[in-house]
Structure 1
């Protein structure tokens, strides 16, 4: 069942849990996994009751990346069919990247190729210290194309030139050093605890303000000298937030020394 290959549930407090569930193949992606993930992101994007998304993988690994048998068979199709599948994959990653909700990914075991890309597409990544990362595509005669915008954004072009070309494995502390991972955990118990702490921190933020902050990062990234249009955008952004229902509630709560209405 396609429902079983990626598990999806929503807690009453507004936390969606998305779990890759093909442990027998280290949660490798195939067409069904990609389609299921895309459908889940679509549903989450349209639900105001979901505030945080927690992503993880069942079994020994977070994800080994693309299912090699699926990729081999896809490459044997005519170009139109082959391209159609890769466009679905690119679209799935874009949907995750642009979710209005905050996303937290917990990685462990192997986080390879497309798995690394999925992590890079998330807002916050926490990894067990034993996690092994790699962008292995060139060793298979492939390229990390669809994941490249997100991986390069996470680790920068200089590090990408190394790891895209060598396909070498690197440890979680190195992933942390180069910016792919935000926090490290010593074991599975601490990984879960740090994930929960991050979720709790995110639930303190106003939902619309979080969505706007995510857009803000995308719109101002890599700008070294804002032009008039960007200055206008940022000025309008904060002006509109100050006047918004959330902004007024947050400021009123601060002066009244109470919790704002989005905090349970």
Structure 2
């Protein structure tokens, strides 16, 4: 049997470890395999003395579509995602996200756990969990640590899509994609010790929030995933139809 192609790739570009999500068949969904691949690449980048920072990017038109609802291990996803976000926040090297497409649900937690993020004008964002009978439980921890609470309450509750300008206005995204080269140039010019110490300062609040809230949010996700509403919501999503509560 042929080996399964890796879902995450990494290469070094002048001190920047470029980590690429490459699972286009499910829109880079947070399957167990993709989460494990990301964790392994972050671990290696953190230990590599040649790496100054990490650039997280993607193939295809979707940065990340959230939980892989077709994965039989989906109920384990929130705890795995929480562990990955803690790893990212504790990484002694900054993580920059580059979004050139759609970001949905738990993918927004992954995005918010990055230290800096840029997005193209064509990118769009949505917290779709409430429409499936779920909630952005684990993802809410880094999102609410980074972005305006009132704005996020709207998007958490309604599932509305919003664009890059709104993502920047609310603090969910740092800047437009055109600023990426300047950001990377600044990271390449910084001393490794300076980056590590500064990252420790800027990520401290997120690490504290994750330590305080991860277990409760993972438990909430587990209960919701096990509910009849969520089962129907996920079934409707996979069957490309409206759930019975949609008016």
C-alpha distance after superposition, 1:186-206 (max 9, x if no partner) = xxxx4xxx3233111111111
Question: What is the rounded CA distance, in whole Å, between the counterparts of 2:30 and 2:113 in structure 1?
Answer: 15
Preserved contact between residue 2 and residue 36 of structure 1 (Cα < 8 Å)? no
C-alpha distance after superposition, 1:100-141 (max 9, x if no partner) = 112111102211112211111111111011111011111111
Which residue does 1:244 correspond to in 2? none
Alignment of 1:1-264 (within 5 A): 1=3, 4-11=6-13, 13-70=14-71, 73-74=72-73, 82-83=75-76, 85-185=77-177, 190=178, 194-219=179-204
C-alpha distance after superposition, 1:35-70 (max 9, x if no partner) = 111111122222222101111110112111121212
Q: Which secondary structure does the structure 1 equivalent of 2:70 belong to?
A: helix
Q: Which secondary structure does the structure 2 equivalent of 1:105 belong to?
A: strand
Question: What is the rounded CA distance, in whole Å, between the counterparts of 1:43 and 1:94 in structure 2?
Answer: 16
Preserved contact between residue 90 and residue 203 of structure 2 (Cα < 8 Å)? no
- The CA deviation at 1:7 is 0.8
Task: State the TM-score, normalized to the length of structure 2.
Answer: 0.76
Which stretches in structure 1 are left out of the alignment for 5+ residues? 76-81, 222-264
Q: Which secondary structure does the structure 2 equivalent of 1:162 belong to?
A: helix
- The CA deviation at 1:3 is 5.7
Preserved contact between residue 63 and residue 110 of structure 1 (Cα < 8 Å)? yes
C-alpha distance after superposition, 1:150-204 (max 9, x if no partner) = 100111322222221111111111101101112124xxxx4xxx32331111111
Question: What is the rounded CA distance, in whole Å, between the counterparts of 1:62 and 1:37 in structure 2?
Answer: 13
Question: What is the rounded CA distance, in whole Å, between the counterparts of 2:55 and 2:204 in structure 1?
Answer: 24
Question: What is the rounded CA distance, in whole Å, between the counterparts of 1:23 and 1:17 in structure 2?
Answer: 18
Preserved contact between residue 126 and residue 181 of structure 1 (Cα < 8 Å)? yes
Q: Which secondary structure does the structure 2 equivalent of 1:147 belong to?
A: helix
Question: What is the rounded CA distance, in whole Å, between the counterparts of 1:219 and 1:56 in structure 2?
Answer: 24
Preserved contact between residue 106 and residue 125 of structure 1 (Cα < 8 Å)? yes
Residues 8/218 of structure 1: CA separation in 2 closer, same or farther (3 Å cut): closer
Preserved contact between residue 20 and residue 62 of structure 1 (Cα < 8 Å)? yes
**Which structure has the bigger radius of gyration?**
1
Residues 86/61 of structure 1: CA separation in 2 closer, same or farther (3 Å cut): closer
Aligned residues, how many?
204
Question: What is the rounded CA distance, in whole Å, between the counterparts of 1:50 and 1:216 in structure 2?
Answer: 20
Residues 41/2 of structure 1: CA separation in 2 closer, same or farther (3 Å cut): farther
- The CA deviation at 1:25 is 2.1
Question: What is the rounded CA distance, in whole Å, between the counterparts of 1:24 and 1:74 in structure 2?
Answer: 17
- The CA deviation at 1:220 is 6.3
* Higher mean displacement: 41-50 or 16-25: 41-50
